[in-house]
Amino acid sequence: MQKQQAQHEHAEHAEHEHIEHELEHELGEYKLLEIPFINCLAENDREAIRQFNARIPKKNMQLLIKKQKIQVLLKEIDFYHIQTVVEEITKKYHSESNILTNIANSIAAVKSYGIKGKKRIYVNYNNERKVQGRSAKVEKRGQYYYAKEENFSQVNQKIQAKYIDKIICGDSENILEKIKDNSVDLILTSPPYNFGLEYKEGENKQEQDDKAWQIYFEKLFAIFDQCIRVLKYGGRIIVNVQPLFSDYIPTHHIVSQHFIKRKLIWKGEILWEKNNYNCKYTAWGSWKSPSSPYLKYTWEFLEIFCKGSLKKEGARENIDISADEFKKWVVGKWAIAPERAMNEFGHPAMFPEELARRVIKLFSYRGDIILDPFNGVGTTSSVARSLQRLYIGIDTSEVYCEKARERISSTLQH
């Protein structure tokens, strides 16, 4: 009996040696996982592994039985397909050790891989980076050279308690002046775009949405300068902007230039794809003519800037983004439908809650202070509240501020 077992093991060993040799020499690199087992593998476990190998192409993944361990060679797999195969085989060759389920769990625990279509890629997924010695070259070029001579204080402060979880009615330039330096973690905002929209008026009539561009930008930058001052070192400001194409004003570039001039680091840009294909095809008689074709846009931008450092301090236990959300949202193009409840809220230019939810979870920790200096009816504030952050929302219109307060209290009741 013992002899039989030894012969069996020898044959199996030879078979796997062969496969391994083939894998190493013909198929290139794999990611290797090793799963130890204590007792001998039962025959139905061995059969389950053979069946598994027969169903999954060798070039994608293989299982090798070694002494007291199973080697999992991973290259690229559709994990959900693997789970299905595991379930089917486990049902058929039911074994008490559930060897394939353990293997699937070990694969699920591997967190570093690339994604190609439905497949997880475990090796060489960084290979499209063809640059050798990338970090040294980045260093030589002078990463974010434009922000190098900043002199922001690195001492962050506790914000005054009276501003926490408040919707404040007034001009942001004046309100922000009273808030301490370096005391806000994240600013998410969407300023009035100067499109000529009919906002509810604030305390003075100057906030109308059709100012001369110079006056508009002077005011906007005065508010952004206050935002920069109140941001913590390592804090982020994320501005949702849409250029005014009809006036040929690239607002997103002009706003970005201002932050760069103030020595903030440009972290990146998210393209918010709204898929609203309802804009006109032509303007000024240039239909089907190169004389002056009018470009159509179905998206807006989110420009992301950091004060002093790209890294933000925070406790691990205050991270609330899931692995799937993270993987999806770091791809800088977000398809989110425009807000549909603008009539209900009585505001002409809201952004959707989903946009705020993604920004807040991706760029802040639970317990952080989130400010919106153009708060409208409180999309940023109410989402921040529901995600267990602290909020400050400022808007000139008392009507919008009241709506925002109602919205937050109804969020709290749910």
Ligand X SMILES: C[S@@+](CC[C@H](N)C(=O)[O-])C[C@H]1O[C@@H](n2cnc3c(N)ncnc32)[C@H](O)[C@@H]1O
| List of residues contacting ligand X (CB under 6 A) | 171-172, 190-192, 199, 207, 347, 349-351, 373-374, 376-377, 379, 394-397, 400
Of the pair 308, 376, the CB lying nearest ligand X is at 376
CB of 413 to ligand X, least distance (A): 20
Which of 44, 62, 64, 46 lies closest to 54, judged by CA?
62
Both structure tokens of 294: 């009018």
Q: In what order do the strands lie in the sheet with 31-36?
A: 31-36, 69-74, 61-66
The C-alpha angle with vertex 130 and arms to 126 and 134, in degrees rounded to 5, equals 85
CB of 169 to ligand X, least distance (A): 9
Of the pair 308, 373, the CB lying nearest ligand X is at 373
CA distance 121 to 117: 10
CA distance 257 to 80: 45
Helix (H) or strand (E) holding 408: helix 398-413
CB closest to ligand X, residue no: 376
CB distance 235 to 307 below 8 Å: yes
Both structure tokens of 54: 């027969």
Of the pair 122, 272, the CB lying nearest ligand X is at 272
Tokens 């692995």 locate to: 323
Of the pair 95, 364, the CB lying nearest ligand X is at 364
CA distance 27 to 127: 17
Neighbour tally for 283: CB within 10 Å: 13
CB of 377 to ligand X, least distance (A): 4
Of the pair 120, 385, the CB lying nearest ligand X is at 385
Of the pair 368, 395, the CB lying nearest ligand X is at 395
CB of 77 to ligand X, least distance (A): 42
CA distance 380 to 385: 9
Rounded to 5 degrees, φ, ψ at 235 are -75, 165
Indicate the DSSP class of residue 249. B
CB of 69 to ligand X, least distance (A): 56
Which of 99, 45, 36, 97 lies closest to 68, judged by CA?
36
Of the pair 89, 350, the CB lying nearest ligand X is at 350
CB of 260 to ligand X, least distance (A): 23
CB of 272 to ligand X, least distance (A): 12
Of the pair 191, 235, the CB lying nearest ligand X is at 191
CB of 355 to ligand X, least distance (A): 9
